[in-house]
Amino acid sequence: MSSSITATFPQGRAVSALLAGSVLWGLFWWPLKAFEMAGIHVSFVQIFAYGSATLVLLPFAWRSLPQWRSQFGLLLLICLLGGWANASFATALAEGNVVRVLLLFYLAPVWTILAARVFLAEPFTPLRLGALALALVGLVSTLGGAALFATPLSLIDLLALSSGLAFALNNIAIRVGHKLPELTRAAAVFMGCAVISLGWGLWSGRSLPALESMHILALLGLGLLWVIPGTLATFYGVARLDAGKAAILLLAELVVGVFSAVLIGNEHLSMQEIIGGALILSAALIEAVTEQRGDQA
């Protein structure tokens, strides 16, 4: 009895950590919109938030240099893919419709299915093919149905889609480099996001706005009290749970994000977005079940 209770506690902590991380990321649009309303462009928000998070984690990453020196190329790939996923996702959230961006980002399981087939030779099972079909129909519905083929996608739509694709490819890279220390991977992703955001800020020609001390403290707080805890909580949960169970729990981010955007962000769901979101969510659940069966096998 005592051994089973002891074994349950780590599982319970992992579930709680993963749910806490999902809530933080599901609400991540809120501070981004607030900074945007205060006149601080999302590029500068990410430079400060992810830059401060990088500086905190760099000493830990440097301490584990012998563990990742031989995999520097893979770590650089994680830096670029994870950085793009975070930077483009945050930019799309700050400047676009939160619900639409979240639905487009959560096509990531579709890209994961395709990337796992191409890079890891994982087979297409009937369940995965069904998930792929559902997600693609959901994509078309979310983007406006037949009107999708008459009008080009907006820049925000492309950023949201590319963030999900980069996230999926980054997951494949992390699978390959699963022995890399978690703090080192996190530092690499944070650094990639800060550098990419700096590039976007320079390319756009925007000048850094005059920041008051309150703004600087809020930006540092976003990095140190939101980005780092959210990331580490997610890493902790994913590392200690079956992939399928973790994938299902991570869907809480989508639910929290959509409902919070509707309830406190005054956004509205069209019938096409509801249908598309239901299909995309179903596809993600099917992929999570497929992952769980693979783990049990």
Check if the beta carbon of residue 158 is closer than 8 Å to that of residue 132.
Answer: no
pLDDT of residue 10: 64
pLDDT of residue 146: 64
Integer CA distances (angstroms), 186 to 13, 67, 125, 149, 263, in order: 20, 15, 32, 38, 31
H helices present in the chain, as ranges: 2-26, 29-37, 42-63, 65-68, 72-95, 98-105, 108-120, 126-142, 155-176, 182-204, 213-222, 228-240, 243-250, 252-263, 271-296
pLDDT of residue 55: 96
Q: What's the burial of 264, exposed, middle or buried (CB within 10 Å: 0-12/13-18/19+)?
A: exposed
pLDDT of residue 80: 97
Cα–Cα distance for residue pair 90/43, rounded to 1 Å: 9
Q: Which residue has the tokens 């676009």?
A: 96
Check if the beta carbon of residue 253 is closer than 8 Å to that of residue 25.
Answer: yes
Per-residue pLDDT of the chain in tens (297 residues, 90 and over written 9): 334 443 445 678 888 998 999 999 999 999 999 999 999 999 999 999 999 999 999 999 999 999 999 999 999 999 999 999 999 999 999 999 999 999 899 887 778 778 777 877 777 788 878 888 888 888 888 887 766 666 778 999 999 999 999 988 888 888 888 788 989 999 999 999 999 999 998 888 777 778 889 999 999 999 999 999 999 998 888 878 776 677 778 888 988 999 999 999 989 888 888 898 888 888 888 877 776 555 554
pLDDT of residue 142: 85
pLDDT of residue 7: 45
Integer CA distances (angstroms), 27 to 68, 73, 155, in order: 33, 33, 22
pLDDT of residue 166: 93
pLDDT of residue 2: 35
pLDDT of residue 30: 97
pLDDT of residue 1: 39
Cα–Cα distance for residue pair 267/251, rounded to 1 Å: 20
